[in-house]
Structure 1
Amino acid sequence: MKNKYRILKIAITVILLGFLLSFSLKKFGGQKITDNNISVKMNEKTPVYFVDEKDIRAIVNKENPSGKVGDLNIPALEKKINALPAIDSANVYLNLNGKLNLDIKQRVPIFRLNKDGRDFYVDDKGVEFPISKTYSHPCMLVTGNVKTDEYGKLAELVEKIDKDDFSKKYFIGISKDNNGDYNLLTSEGNYKVELGDLDNIELKVKGFKAFVEKYLVYQDPLKYNMISIKYQNQIVTTLNPYFKENDSILKVGNLELAKVSTPAPAKKTEAKLKIGNVKKETKKPSSTSKKPKEGTKPKATAKPKAKETKKTEKKITPAKAKAKVKVE
């Protein structure tokens, strides 16, 4: 029974509203909609000016040339306003006194993206809409091949930067390189902050903030080309080669790299051992010497031996060269 009474009450309410609406339309159907009878409200929290009240009134006049309340097609007018790229939502309705009300909510850009030669805005819902010729909204500039599925995380990053006074002071732009890594552009110096992917954003920004407060504030901002915070629990810095004070540091680094790249020298002890063995082998008397005749005294062979040793020493010299080549 209770459900029947509720249904009956709802039906009676709808009938009464319909009757009042039809009565008001008959009463104000021939009445013209003047500027005083049009109420335009912009309901966005952040003030934006892509579409102003003047533009909305112009659309109303265009959609209703006669200007009469009875000739106004409210659903068509609402659809026309919602079709504007910078409009998030529009609600159009008439009061019982014949006053036309338009509640307008515009899109608020989170960042401005320059991608593939195109320049457009992206709101907090990840919706793209074109820039205006008459109004430029102040927001974070992003460049690079950013994919549409990354708009949500990128919007979260920009919102966190805007809410934090430190980050808002340091970061003025975001770029995505060819490797797919995100970089934060800074307002001080010529260095950029390598962010990597869009995961663990809050932790990465906190790490950079600690690095700035404890170290970077005491350094010349032109000292670095890049400060990387994409690695977990560590910060990697890249020096600026055109900064004069970095010359000595870079020279030391180059020398260390040169030491590592040079091959290890060959061991000299092995070469000496091999050459020594060759000498011992060459000092042995040759087996081809002539035997003395019978009945004759053997002649002293001291001098020939000396000659033989000289000859053998001359023969040793190429052996030395061969030994050195093998060792190297």
Structure 2
Amino acid sequence: MKKIAAYISFILLIAFLSFLYGFTSNRNNHKKVKNTVVEFEEGDNNFLTHSMVDKMLIQNQKFVENQPKRVVDLHFLETNVSANPYVEKATVFLTIDGVLKTLIKQRRPIARVVDKDSIYYVDKYGVKIPLSANFSARVPLVSGVGNAEEIKELIQLIHIISSDDFFKKEIIAIEKNAQNEYMFTVRTGDYQIAFGKFEEVTVKFKKLKAFYNKALIDGSIKEYKTINVKYHNQVVCTKHNQDGKQ
């Protein structure tokens, strides 16, 4: 008898909990979205504004605020926000108290590419990002690249440049010519760096760094028009009005 009573008590408890869950769930589903909150990953609030994201939170041709929670399609909203070219990752969810939260990680541009008649940013994944009226990223201006393989190579080059604090600030433009050789434009001097093809990259930057360590100290950097690191084991410099080797 005790086993039967315990079994019946267990069944009744399960039934009560199911009823309570169903009742609570039903009440919760009839509640309305009382507010929307947009949060950007720290340091990423650049291209998009909160109001721009709110305009993406549209369902049934209406803004989701004040719509019943039960009709809100979180997957649809998340997909809609993620489709924006400035968004790398988006998460949309509802809190218990009826707040729709949107967490956004924006794409971070690493270069601004001038390609024939178009200008756009690219991120570290090679994804093209349109220019924005809200924000202008301080990244190198790049020309002479366009196809996927060239962008992939460019990303590797910029990654190496960005890993060095000096070169990251100093190199402001990158041009790839018809011979597939790179030329760098710098921030602080009236000269260019002839980097050559994308080969022996680490060695070239080491040579360039060693040259800078000397030329900046003795002030000779001001004399040069071109600093060429294409050749093996040497830095060849062209001076203003005359040629010379360093």
TM-score by structure 1 length?
0.60
Aligned counterpart in structure 2 of residue 49 of structure 1, from 46, 50, 55: 46
Gaps of 5+ in 1: 1-15, 251-328
Q: Is the 8 A contact 2:33 2:65 kept in 1?
A: no
Q: CA 1:110–1:207 in 2, change beyond 3 Å: closer, same or farther? A: same
Higher helix share: 1
What secondary structure is seen at the aligned counterpart in 1 of 2:185?
strand
Q: Return closer, same or farther for 1:162/1:145 CA change in 2, 3 Å cut-off.
A: closer
1:99-114 correspondence to structure 2 within 5 Å: 99-114=99-114
Write out aligned runs for 1:43-122 (5 A). 43=41, 46-61=43-58, 62-64=62-64, 67-122=67-122
Residue in 2 that maps onto 1:6: none
Which residue of 2 is the match for residue 299 of structure 1? none
Runs of 4+ in structure 1 off by over 6 angstroms are: none
Q: Does 1:149 align with 2:149?
A: yes
Confirm or deny: 8 A CA contact 2:113 2:120 kept in the other structure. yes
Which of the two has higher C-alpha Rg? 1
Partner residue in 1 for 2:37: 39
CA contact (8 A) 2:110 2:139 kept: yes
- TM-score, scaled to structure 2: 0.78
Whole-Å Cα distance in 2 between the matches of residues 155 and 27 of structure 1?
52
Q: Identify the residue that residue 212 of structure 2 maps to in structure 1.
A: 212
How far apart, CA to CA, are the structure 2 residues paired with 1:238 and 1:147?
Answer: 32
Aligned partner letter, 2:212: V
Name the structure, 1 or 2, with higher relative contact order (CA <8 Å, separation 6+). Answer: 2
| Structure 1 Cα separation of the partners of residues 43 and 134 of structure 2 | 18
Shift of 1:225: 2.4
Alpha-carbon spacing, 1:46–1:180, altered in 2? closer, same or farther (3 Å) = farther
CA deviations 1:24-47 (Å, max 9, x no partner) are: 652133322122xx332323x542
3-state DSSP of counterpart to 2:71: coil
Question: Is 1:223 aligned to residue 220 of structure 2?
Answer: no
**Residues paired across the two proteins, number:** 224
Per-residue deviation at 1:165?
2.6
The CA deviation at 1:121 is 0.6
Q: Shift of residue 140 of structure 1?
A: 1.7
Residue 178 of structure 1: CA displacement? 2.4
Tell me the equivalent position of 1:135.
135
Return closer, same or farther for 1:90/1:170 CA change in 2, 3 Å cut-off. Answer: closer
Could you say if the C-alpha distance between residues 78 and 47 of structure 1 is closer, same or farther in structure 2, counting changes exceeding 3 Å?
Answer: closer
CA–CA separation in structure 2 for the residues paired with 1:175 and 1:49: 26
Task: Report the CA distance between 1:139 and its aligned residue.
Answer: 1.5
Asked whether the equivalents of residues 25 and 69 of structure 1 are also in contact (C-alpha less than 8 Å), the reply is no
Greater per-residue strand proportion: 2
Listed as ranges, the gaps of 5+ residues in structure 2 are 1-16
The alignment partner of 1:29 has SS state of helix
The alignment yields a C-alpha RMSD, in angstroms, of: 2.8
- In the alignment, the residues of structure 1 paired with residue 183 and residue 162 of structure 2 have an alpha-carbon distance, to the nearest angstrom, of 17
**2:44 counterpart letter in structure 1:** P
Question: Which one is further off, 175-184 or 88-97?
Answer: 88-97
Matching residue's letter, 1:213: N
Q: Aligned equivalents of 2:30 and 2:56: distance in 1?
A: 20
Alpha-carbon separation, structure 2, partners of 1:152 and 1:48: 26
**2:113 is paired with a residue of what secondary structure?**
strand
Quote how far apart the aligned CAs of 1:214 are: 2.2
Which SS does the other structure have where 1:183 is aligned? strand
